[in-house]
Structure 1
Amino acid sequence: MGWLVRKKAVAAAVLGLLTVAGCSSGGGSGSTPSSSAPSAKGSDAAPPGSDTAGTEAAYHKWGLKPFAAPPTPPAEKPVKAKPGEVPVVSDIPTKDKIVFVTFDDGAEKDPKFVEMMKDLKIPFTMFLTDDIIRNDYGYFKPLQELGNSIENHTLSHPNLRTLGEAAQKNEICTQEKKLGKEYGKEPRLFRPPYGNWNENTRAAAKSCDLQAIILWRESMQITNMQYQRGDKKLHPGDIILAHFRGPKELKGASMTEMTANMLRHIQEQGFTVARLEDYV
């Protein structure tokens, strides 16, 4: 009888050890997941706060792979303005492999693009022209609600170099007020149509309390990007220009197809997308 009691005691002790080992390994239903390995993988595959599987499914829907999460923005914005001067910016000083996506004008109002951006959560900046968006201000509000800012691109999209300072000020400052009224916040950034500006433009932008004139390094066409540099490559901190365009301008392609092509070019060159307003 004593032998049988001792045998049962040993079995119970062994069972207890196995149970403890099972809990600490993370294999049981009551286990606590490791905070190191999964989060390291997730930071390479999904935006912060997103579940990896859900992000992969959202990207797959548009024929894409998830981007790496961008680095934490610098505590101090790297674009510096000289006293009393509005800086003109084509790229952001950074060593990180990040680029910045911008969309201009506002002509195409494709609901599929709103759906795409809700799925992908790619940060981007909109530079909008009143003559082009006034028939549907509301289209851009869901995109703004995703955290994407609406910035100034003049009232009527003129070549500003052909206008005097007073006319330029009207184009820029009046649009500043209109966008503030429609979207609840006046823009901080300004993009001159066609990238054409002069010192009157800079003076007008300053008088309208704008903080930077934003140009670009690459422009997205339909399937390919046009590069300003001879090496035909993206560089850290580049600003990319795209447009709200539809099948008429894109020779039958949709805005979502153009955007997917642009995102593939960015990813294939080893870059991810950051938010411009975090750096300017």
Structure 2
Amino acid sequence: MRCKFCDMGDYWGRSVRVVAGAGVLALLLAGCQKSAAEKPAKEKPQVAAPAVGQQQAPDASAVWRKWGLEPMAPAPAPPVDKPLKLSKKGPAKVFQNVPTKDKVVFVTLDDGQEKDPKFVEMMNDLKVPVTMFLTKDDVQDDYGYFKPLQALGNRIQDHTITHPVLPGLGLEGQRQEICGDRDALVQQYGTVPTLLRPPFGRWNSLTQEAARECGISGIVMWVASMQIHDFQYDDPNKELHPGDILLAHFRGREQLKGETMTQMFAHLLKQIEKRGFSVGRLEDYISVQ
């Protein structure tokens, strides 16, 4: 006779095993849930916010359109072997262009009469390189205006004290004009001019000699001068060529027939861009040996 308690024991044994198995499973599930809870969620990449007071860089094309321009192609990298070599000895060399095949021209700005704050803003936005030939009598009322332009990498060069016709002064008079401007510019801007722009483009052999005595190695002429909306060209075909040096001035509404310095400079850049050129820094193509 089969013991019913034995059957009950078998029943209870199976029940215990089932319950025990369920308990183990529950413990395992609980452990997995705990592990999942403790494991950090996959982090999304964080984009660093601008620091306090720092603005994100604006789109380049938007910066150019702010001044009514389309972005100009950047200038090629400056050549390692400078194509225009000036000597520290002998008469200062006279030149109006740089021997290069680069599709690049060079912008020079003379005098310094007009000191338009908007032009500093424009240059800070566009980063177009220029060479500034400053006349002491024109800039001495506000030397500080040109320092932000210099800080952008634009070089300051010699343009005499009073902007005279140099050949009419003789050697000593020319030397005083050139060296006097050099001394004032060195004192104010901390760099020694190595280039001279003769006022009105007038020079003679004594200018070359006087310039050398003042530490000047090159006398810089030009092939086209900016008026208001376009250049006045030496070339009858009104064309620009690689390495051409261009002349413009720090001028205001009175000289520009109601237009501003920034408007004139925008016209200048449009004319250069229309002809497929970019703007380089003149001094990047020159070495003094």
TM-score by length of 1: 0.80
Q: Summarize deviations over 1:216-245 as a string: whole Å, max 9, x none.
A: 011000011100011111111110100000
Amino acid at match of 2:201: G
The question of 1:223 aligning with 2:247 is answered: no
Cα-to-partner distance string for 1:144-185 (whole Å, 9 max, x where unaligned): 011101110000000001110000000001111110000011
Measured against aligned partners, the alpha-carbon deviations of 1:170-207 in whole angstroms (never above 9, x if no partner) come to 00011111100000111111100000000000001111
**Partner letter of residue 58 of structure 1?**
V
Letter in 1 for 2:74: A
Residue of structure 2 in register with 1:211 after alignment: 217
Whichever residue aligns with residue 80 of structure 2, its letter is A
**2:258 aligned to 252, 258, 280, which one?**
252
Match of 1:11 in 2: none
Alignment of 1:85-104 (within 5 A): 85-104=91-110
Q: Name the SS for the 1:229 alignment partner.
A: coil
What is the alpha-carbon distance in structure 1 between the residues aligned to residue 283 and residue 168 of structure 2? 29
Within the alignment, does 1:267 sit opposite 2:273 as a pair?
Answer: yes
Match of 1:185 in 2: 191
Percent of aligned pairs with the same amino acid: 53
**Structure 1 residue aligned with 2:82:** 77
Structure 2 unaligned runs (5+)? 1-43, 46-55
What is residue 68 of structure 1 aligned with on the other side? Answer: 73
- Which residue of the partner structure matches residue 173 of structure 1? 179
Partner of 1:4: none
Matching residue's letter, 2:172: A
Equivalent residue letter for 1:103: L
The 5 Å alignment of 1:196-207 reads 196-207=202-213
Does structure 2 conserve the Cα–Cα contact (< 8 Å) formed by 1:80 and 1:87?
no
Number of aligned residues: 232
Distance 1:232 1:241 in 2: 15
Give unpaired runs (5+ residues) of structure 1.
Answer: 1-28, 31-50
Aligned match of 2:62 in 47, 57, 60?
Answer: 57
Return the index of the structure with the highest Cα Rg: 2
Q: CA RMSD in A?
A: 1.5
**Once the 2 structures are TM-superposed, how far is the Cα of residue 275 of structure 1 from its aligned partner?**
0.3
SS at match of 1:56: helix
